[in-house]
């Protein structure tokens, strides 16, 4: 049996007619940039997230960069980011002319450790970026109480967490801005690159929309220099189709995760947080094992697409070598980066496949 880490082909086969029609409609219209397909998707994504403003952009990294730039922070202002995330989170900070300050993660959730955030806040701190990593939501009420106390902005990195809620709070509800990626493998994925910023602040929305489109107001009336970072019509039309399925797909992910919980619990490995149903949309199903790299190699040989998110935590990447970080700076992140393992999960995964994954894992654990 083969079990890939994600299976986009099965999903496409199930919705092929609708997708192909949506693509044809764009081709027939020859409206590729801006226009009605993008406007419709932005509108629908606003309804889905509850955000008043949605700006489609070229990718999730640009969403973060533009969100940061919209805050007009001074150069080198510090932005707190988790040490365990995809590199784009901190890369966006640097590219916005700001300085990423890394924070260790919580040993159970692998999310930004809110007990450490306050220690990192200085007079130069301008923003915090909680990352809803693996599809699991950071406690935004706790983040908000910190940001209110120190008067710093909050940008949510929701690239892996479309549609997640926690304790009745949605992404974007308690922050200034939320950023999404529509990279193909994400819970809501385009057929190419795509991203979006959502916000309830009209002035930020206006600024980001202009920045993403060459600082343009009216057609050739450029108020300032921006960039070219737009969501295109083909991606928007595809995303509109897929958005209709997203609630079902997230429920299917939850069902798959519940099967994993039972089996993984039986062999005594740590479960992802399961405290309340809504906290997690299971973009990834992550547990921890010893001798991780050997196990990953063995499972791959048996046809299972396991992943590692992430093998080298951001502060320890060559890209940040000049900052001179050491393992003791982020002890939890450092210890976990050699143990984390992501098991295959996607809406269409079958119980049989999950059983096979856990059996294989179990066999390799005791070898």
Ligand X SMILES: *Cc1c(COP(=O)(O)O)cnc(C)c1O
Q: How far is the CB of 365 from ligand X (least distance, A)?
A: 28
The widest CA-to-CA distance across the chain, in whole angstroms, is 67
Closest to ligand X by CB, 310 vs 334, is 310
Query: In sequence order, which residues have a C-beta less than 8 Å from that of residue 96 and are 6 or more positions away?
Result: 65, 68, 69, 73
The closest alpha carbon to 284, from 244, 314, 256, belongs to 256
User: In whole angstroms, what is the distance from residue 137 CA to residue 164 CA?
Assistant: 7
Q: Which window, 85-93, 253-261, 274-282, 337-345, contacts ligand X (CB under 6 A)?
A: 85-93
Contacts of 111-119 with C-beta under 8 Å, sequence gap 24+, read 111/82, 111/136, 111/138, 112/80, 112/81, 112/82, 112/138, 113/82, 113/332, 114/138, 114/139, 114/142, 114/143, 114/146, 117/80, 117/143, 117/146, 118/146, 118/150
Residue list 331-360, contact with ligand X (CB under 6 A): none
- The 114-153 contact track toward ligand X, x by CB under 6 A, reads -----------------x----------------------
Q: Which window, 71-79, 157-165, 252-260, 284-292, contacts ligand X (CB under 6 A)?
A: 157-165
Taking CB under 6 A as the criterion, the residue among 140, 159, 257, 337 binding ligand X is 159
Taking CB under 6 A as the criterion, the residue among 11, 125, 147, 160 binding ligand X is 160
Q: How far is the CB of 61 from ligand X (least distance, A)?
A: 3
User: In whole angstroms, what is the distance from residue 36 CA to residue 363 CA?
Assistant: 53
Q: 């700006």: which residue's tokens?
A: 55
User: In whole angstroms, what is the distance from residue 183 CA to residue 200 CA?
Assistant: 24
Closest to ligand X by CB, 136 vs 181, is 181
Taking CB under 6 A as the criterion, the residue among 85, 147, 176, 229 binding ligand X is 85
Identify whether the C-beta of residue 31 lies closer than 8 Å to the C-beta of residue 40: no
Closest to ligand X by CB, 55 vs 358, is 55
Residues binding ligand X: number (CB under 6 A):
15
- For residue 109, the tally of other CB atoms under 10 A from its CB is 20
CA R_g for the chain: 21
Instruction: Rule CB under 6 A: say whether 86 interacts with ligand X.
Output: yes
Taking CB under 6 A as the criterion, the residue among 49, 109, 136, 181 binding ligand X is 181
Residue list 41-70, contact with ligand X (CB under 6 A): 59-61
Closest to ligand X by CB, 86 vs 356, is 86
Instruction: Rule CB under 6 A: say whether 183 interacts with ligand X.
Output: yes
Q: Which window, 12-20, 82-90, 274-282, 352-360, contacts ligand X (CB under 6 A)?
A: 82-90
CB-count burial class (<10 Å; 0-12, 13-18, 19+) for 301: exposed
Query: In sequence order, which residues have a C-beta less than 8 Å from that of residue 143 and are 6 or more positions away?
Result: 114, 117, 128, 130, 154, 174, 175
Taking CB under 6 A as the criterion, the residue among 82, 135, 189, 195 binding ligand X is 195
Q: Which window, 80-88, 206-214, 290-298, 358-366, contacts ligand X (CB under 6 A)?
A: 80-88
Taking CB under 6 A as the criterion, the residue among 6, 80, 81, 88 binding ligand X is 88
Identify whether the C-beta of residue 66 lies closer than 8 Å to the C-beta of residue 290: no
Closest to ligand X by CB, 7 vs 157, is 157
Closest to ligand X by CB, 48 vs 183, is 183
Instruction: Rule CB under 6 A: say whether 166 interacts with ligand X.
Output: no
Q: What's the sign of the alpha-carbon dihedral 301, 305, 308, 311?
A: positive
Residue nearest to ligand X (CB): 60
Q: Which residues bind ligand X (CB under 6 A)?
A: 59-61, 85-86, 88-89, 131, 157, 159-160, 181, 183, 193, 195
């Amino acid at each position: 049996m083969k079990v890939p880490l994600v299976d986009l082909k099965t999903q496409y086969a199930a919705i092929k007619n609708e997708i192909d029609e949506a693509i044809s409609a764009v081709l027939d219209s020859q409206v590729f940039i801006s226009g009605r397909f993008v406007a419709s998707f932005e509108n629908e994504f606003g309804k889905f997230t509850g955000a008043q403003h949605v700006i489609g952009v070229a990718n999730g990294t640009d969403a973060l960069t533009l969100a940061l730039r919209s805050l007009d922070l001074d150069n080198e202002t510090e932005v707190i980011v988790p040490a365990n995330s995809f590199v784009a989170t901190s890369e966006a900070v640097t590219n916005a002319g700001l300085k990423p300050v890394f924070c260790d993660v919580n040993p159970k959730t692998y999310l930004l450790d809110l007990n450490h955030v306050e220690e990192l806040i200085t007079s130069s701190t301008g923003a915090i970026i909680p990352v809803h990593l693996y599809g699991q939501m950071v406690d935004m009420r706790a983040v908000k109480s910190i940001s209110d106390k120190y008067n710093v902005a909050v940008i949510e990195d929701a690239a892996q967490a479309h549609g997640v809620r926690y304790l009745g709070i949605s992404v974007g509800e308690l922050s200034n801005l939320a950023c999404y990626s529509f990279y193909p493998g994400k819970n809501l994925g385009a057929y190419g690159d795509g991203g979006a910023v959502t916000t309830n602040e009209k002035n930020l929305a206006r600024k980001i929309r202009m920045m993403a489109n060459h600082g343009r107001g009216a057609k050739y009336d450029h108020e300032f220099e921006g960039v070219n970072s737009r969501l295109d019509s083909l991606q928007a039309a595809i995303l509109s189709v897929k958005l209709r399925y997203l609630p079902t797909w997230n429920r299917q992910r939850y069902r798959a995760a519940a099967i994993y919980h039972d089996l993984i619990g039986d062999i005594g490995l740590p479960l992802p947080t399961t405290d309340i149903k809504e906290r997690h949309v299971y973009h990834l199903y992550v547990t921890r094992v010893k001798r991780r790299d050997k196990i990953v190699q063995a499972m791959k040989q048996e046809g299972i697409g396991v992943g590692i998110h992430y093998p080298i935590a951001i502060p320890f990447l060559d890209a940040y070598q000049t900052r001179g970080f050491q393992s003791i700076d982020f002890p939890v992140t450092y210890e976990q980066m050699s143990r984390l393992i992501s098991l295959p999960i996607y809406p269409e995964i079958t119980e049989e496949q999950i059983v096979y994954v856990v059996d294989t894992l179990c066999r390799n654990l005791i070898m």
